[in-house]
Amino acid sequence: MNTYKKKTVAIVIGLVLTSGGVLAGCQSKQSDTAETSSRRTSSFSASKISSVSSSKSDANEFSSNSDSSSNSTSDSSDSASSLISSSTEASSVNSSVKKSRSVDSEQNFSPETMSFNQIQNGDFSSLTGTWVETATASNHHPDAPGVQWTQDPSELTSTLTVDNQKISDGFVTLEGNKLFQKNEEPLHMKYSLRDGFVTADLSDDNAINWSIDFYPQGVTGPTNMNNGVTDDTSKNRIVFWTSNNCYTEYFVQQ
């Protein structure tokens, strides 16, 4: 009986201990599970926070880049606008210059003006028209020293003819950069722009030298006139000169 009771007590105690161990083990696993779950939750939360922070950082960076890009775009737009404005102003200036040149070109073809550029290139189309010899000069007068000017009709015997390519006083002919004389080899001429007029003279000195001056209206011509002869600055003039007795022919465009 005592032995049976002892066994019964032992069995009961064993069952109690076994049950406590199982409960203790489950509790430990549940605790581990809860801790693990808590860690996972904490890890997830930290990850989420990190992700959110990263997203905010990216968003801020994107915003910053967007602002920078916007500013850059704005600066580029301002620069482009400035360039367009400058280009427009340049085009306006170029247009004005071209228009001015066009007007000058039209004036060059007017019968009342001379085109220096054309003359220096052997184009005399701006000089065509009627020309009249109104005075001559020379220093061969025995009763008067030096160059003497005259408007004596008996001395006004030359006729000036002008076409697009040549000019002639009846004795010499200027064609391009050559001066032709009767029965003589052509002489080479050079053109020079002087103070308001153009001169064509010999490229090299010769036994007898020549020059032809082109004076537009408004520009003073020969300054050595005397004997009551005056320079008609209201008209275009062409003056032939030769070193042979300083003979000079003064032609006025009508």
Using the predicted structure, report yes or no on whether residue 227 has a pLDDT greater than 70. Answer: yes
* Average of per-residue pLDDT across 218-224: 95
Predicted pLDDT at 144: 77
Using the predicted structure, report yes or no on whether residue 46 has a pLDDT greater than 80. Answer: no
Q: Are strands 237-242 and 248-253 parallel, antiparallel or unpaired?
A: antiparallel
Determine how many CB atoms are found less than 10 A away from the CB of residue 176: 14
Q: What percent of the chain has pLDDT over 70?
A: 56
Using the predicted structure, report yes or no on whether residue 56 has a pLDDT greater than 60. Answer: no
| Alpha carbon separation from 170 to 128, 157, 162, 184, 252 (Å, rounded) | 16, 10, 11, 14, 16
Predicted pLDDT at 145: 84
Q: Give dist(CA 244, CA 187) in Å, integer.
A: 16
Predicted pLDDT at 112: 52
Predicted pLDDT at 126: 95
Domain ranges of the chain: 1-80, 116-253
Using the predicted structure, report yes or no on whether residue 244 has a pLDDT greater than 50. Answer: yes
* Average of per-residue pLDDT across 178-206: 94
Please give the full DSSP string across 5-42, using - where no structure is assigned: HHHHHHHHHHHHHHHHHHHHHHHHHHHHHHHHHHHHHH
Using the predicted structure, report yes or no on whether residue 71 has a pLDDT greater than 60. Answer: no
- Residue-wise pLDDT for 103-159, tens only, equals 333 334 344 579 999 999 999 999 999 999 999 999 987 777 899 999 999 999 999
Tell me which amino acid residue 34 is. Answer: A
